[in-house]
Each structure stands twice: as C-alpha cells, then as structure tokens.
Amino acid sequence: MPSRFSIISLFCAALLLCSSTADAYIGPIIIIGAVGSMFGWVAAIGVAVLIVLSYPFYLLYRKRNNRKQGKVEEAAAEEVEESSVGT
C-alpha cells in the first residue's frame, strides 16, 4: 500500500510535467523601469570613476592653495613685526 506522501508527490510531478507554457504580455512600463534602473547604475559607476580620477587633482589644488595661504600669513606676520618695531 503506497503512502500518502508518495501519492501526493506523484500527483504533483504529473501536474508539473503536463503544464504548458505561460504567455503574458509585458507592457512598455516594465521596460521603461528597467532602462531607468540601468541608467541609474551606469550613472553611479560613472560618478564613482570620476571621483577616483579627480581626487589627485583635488589634493594638488589644496596643496597649492595652502602654500599661497602660508605665504600670505608670513607676509602679514612680517608687516605686524615691522609696525611694532617702528613704534
């Protein structure tokens, strides 16, 4: 006498084997969403690459501006010293 589990398993297997393909219409809304999602990924990767490539230039810019700022501060300090010595 077959068990209840094996009968259910055979029934499910027969049902799966006899099923036909499912045809469904996928409208343009799904495609628009997929294209928008892909555009988001491409934009995110592009921005990440741009940041990685531009970071060394940013560091050079900061270094150059810090040098200029240091020269301005030195000149201001010299002017303060000269004005205090002259009084």
* 74 assigned to some structural domain: yes
- Expressed as residue numbers, the domain containing 76 is 55-87
d(CA 69, CA 76): 11
* 83 assigned to some structural domain: yes
**Between residues 79 and 62, the one the model is more confident about:** 62
Report percent pLDDT > 70 for the chain.
77
Digit-coded pLDDT (tens) for 34-76: 899 999 999 999 999 999 999 999 999 888 887 777 766 666 6
pLDDT of 86 reads 54
**Between residues 73 and 9, the one the model is more confident about:** 9
* 12 assigned to some structural domain: no
Q: How many domains does the chain have?
A: 1
Residue whose token pair is 């230039």: 57
Q: Exposure pattern of 15-54 as b/e (b: 16+ CB <10 Å)?
A: eeeeeeeeeeeeeeeeeeeeeeeeeeeeeeeeeeeeeeee
